[in-house]
Copies of this chain bind each other. A is one copy, B any other.
Amino acid sequence: MFMTLKLQKLKTLLNEVQDLRSVGDLLEWDQQTCMPSGGGESRAEQFATVKKLAHERFVADEIGQLLADLSAKGAAGDYDSDDASLVRYTKYEYDRKRKLPSALESEIAQHTSAAQEIWVKARAENNFKFFQPALEKMYDLKHQEAEAIGYSESIYDALLQEYERDMTAAQVKSVFDPLRAEIAPLVKAILPRVDSVSDACLHQPFDVDKQREFEATVIKQFGFDFGRGRVDVAVHPFEINFSPDDVRLTTRYDPNFLNPSLFGTMHEAGHGMYEQNVSPTIRRTPLCGGTSLGIHESQSRLWENLVGRSRGFWIHFYPKLQAAFPHLAAADLETFYRAVNRVSPSLIRVEADELTYSLHIMLRFEIEKEVLEGRVRVSDLPEVWNAKMQEYLGITPPNDKLGVLQDVHWAAGLVGYFPTYALGTIISVQLFERAIADVPGIPAQIERGEFSGLFNWLKDHVYRHGKKFTPTEVVERATGGPLNSAPYVKYLKTKFGEIYGV
């Protein structure tokens, strides 16, 4: 068969796989937003069937043979071409998926379901001992998974690469360590002053319909296309998509607190704009979608924090917010700006402010790495957790519910996942800084409620590529340099130094 025919055949097979994956995502979206409570059992069956078919068809020998034939240097085109990128990325994913024994995969899937149920109960009852055996088994299974996939340095790498395909634990450590060294003293300096900023103006009644309307205006101006997307309500907000032309955001409204939906919607819109703007030339293929969780998170946090929590943004939007909620008249722009940037070391990661957030992540990264490498026992986790919380944030959880039991991730088998949150934050500042260097008018645009300069830069340097380039490649091609936490540190020092006068 000629190479072009082989490529065509590969694409046809992958189109179907991609369709099935998208359908699985729709089943998931519907379950979280619409499905009546009674529909759970049937939905689980339907989801399992679609997932199984998508998997079987993807790891088929035929696809492996085509990938092998097309992987010869230059066979599918230049490195940057869509076709060569498709073969390169798909081969990476294929090889990884083929390495995992299906018996182990089933066992993990089964235990993931069981462990989450146990975690829910353990957390509700503040009982780590009840969760411990399930967590030990989970780490044992993830250990087996990592061994099956293989690694050269740390066993952690094998799991991390599920989410960041060309990163290693050593690399993560090399950016986290200096970051922690810089943030920890800043947090310590600000801690005595946290009460100098009040967020009382955010804790008032806010009509939910008006919240929805205001947020829609904001993300539409960002560049989120409502002709190819929508926003719904979900208990645990997320972004999901079934093609670049059908991107679903979710949010949750608190009628007495502005933040959850306001910043949550900007956050999810950041994910959503990434997906909406993947190049149409790679749609319906495995390349279609954000390249890694870290790069994805860089987009959500860029729009949520670097834009949405900036003074410039509110210069334009605060009068409009006040018009929607006249009782905000009592708070002036500066009061509001400080309120949305209030620092408050918290026990709970998902409630953490911009300054302390990364510390929560580093704690989890260090712990899960040590457990996986056999240097910390699962039974010691509560103690290790609490010691690190005291060291990094100056607070000790009063119980495990507010400590080691707070996140579902480990129960859900997501080991190696946490670092992506902080990597995304670090990358968001690198990208933002570079965008402004390339398009100096961006800050002034933002003050006028215009985002086309920023949006187009991101579209050009990040969005359109989908998975064509690895996360490291995206950072290097977009910023001209490697992953680097210095811009993030500078940003935090400048912003929070000014707000808290330290």
Contacts and interface: CB of A to CB of B under 8 A. Distances in A.
Given A19-B50, A46-B19, A49-B16, A230 B283 contact: no
Interface stretch (A22-30, A84-92, A380-388, A454-462): A22-30
A219 to B, nearest CB: 14
A408 interface: no
A15 B41 CA distance: 13
> What copy number does this chain have within its complex?
2
A151 interface: no
A39 B284 contact: no
Interface stretch (A220-228, A289-297, A485-493): A220-228
Interface in A207-256: 225-230, 242-243, 245-247
Q: Interface SS of chain A: helix, strand, loop or mixed?
A: helix
A49 B20 contact: yes
A170 interface: no
B42 A22 contact: yes
Interface string A324-343: 00000000000000000000
A31 to B, nearest CB: 10
A395 interface: no
Contact of A245 (B20, B42, B228, B229): B42
B26 A245 contact: no
Interface string A413-435: 00000000000000000000000
B39 A243 contact: yes
Contact of A15 (B15, B20, B23, B45): B45
A30 B227 CA distance: 15
Interface string A172-190: 0000000000000000000
Interface residues of A, number: 37
A244 to B, nearest CB: 8
A35 interface: yes
Interface in A1-59: 15-16, 19-20, 22-23, 26-27, 30, 34-43, 45-46, 49-50, 53
A302 to B, nearest CB: 24
A37 B225 CA distance: 11
A227 B38 contact: yes
Nearest to A45: B19
A245 B45 CA distance: 13
Nearest to A48: B19
Nearest to A41: B245
Interface of A: 15-16, 19-20, 22-23, 26-27, 30, 34-43, 45-46, 49-50, 53, 225-230, 242-243, 245-247, 283-284
